[in-house]
Structure 1
Amino acid sequence: MILRLTSEICERSADKNESSVYCMKDHKKKNSLYVYKHIMKFFLDTYKSITNKIALVEYFYGEAQNYITYYNFFRKVSSFSHTLNTYEGKGIESKKYNEKQNNGIFKLLGIYGINSIN
């Protein structure tokens, strides 16, 4: 089974320090629009038993370039999470924002733009 899901901004935040509300679009169902669901919860709820199936496909100029299975995806996420919490013995610094998600606490990663890391 292949699901093509994308997200788009449904409602812009009134506060510049808060994230916008995203909606998920399922391309198999016409005009389906769902309230954004955290991708990790979506993967855990939907694909617990098919760890060796392809989870994500990275496209470059419309051609599939890289694939990752659910097992490898969760392995990398766990490794990244561990690094965030233990980096240099104290973990990556966090900042508190006035948001509902994560109780407003977010790690300061120095990520700017859509695909750039500084």
Structure 2
Amino acid sequence: MVNAHTTASNALWAGVPMITRPGQQFAARVGASLVQAAGVPQLVADSDAAYEALALRLATEPEQLKALQAKLHTARQSCSLFDAGRYVRNLETAFRQATDRWRAGLPPQDFAVMDHTSR
């Protein structure tokens, strides 16, 4: 079982809560990463039973579903998942850091990028 990538991002952007259950491989954990980045970590189920219980709760408690939808709509304006400009600034910084190391004759090395402020 794997999770969506673009489809999940589009659903979250549209305000559609997406329940996910992470697996062992990278592709099976993407959904969990996306919902956490969107600010709704409560949509990550840690077991099949928890997944089913959460789905039933959202299906039978419309107020909870509406609250999650509202939270996702608000997140579109504030969370890093949907901040393309911030992503590009951070990626450009990473490219500069890697290029600076190369120009200095240094070997490749892991490094962290200081996150640029949101919007």
Q: Which has the larger radius of gyration?
A: 2
Which is strand-richer, 1 or 2?
Answer: 1
Q: RCO higher in 1 or 2 (8 Å CA, sep ≥ 6)?
A: 2
TM-score by length of 1: 0.29
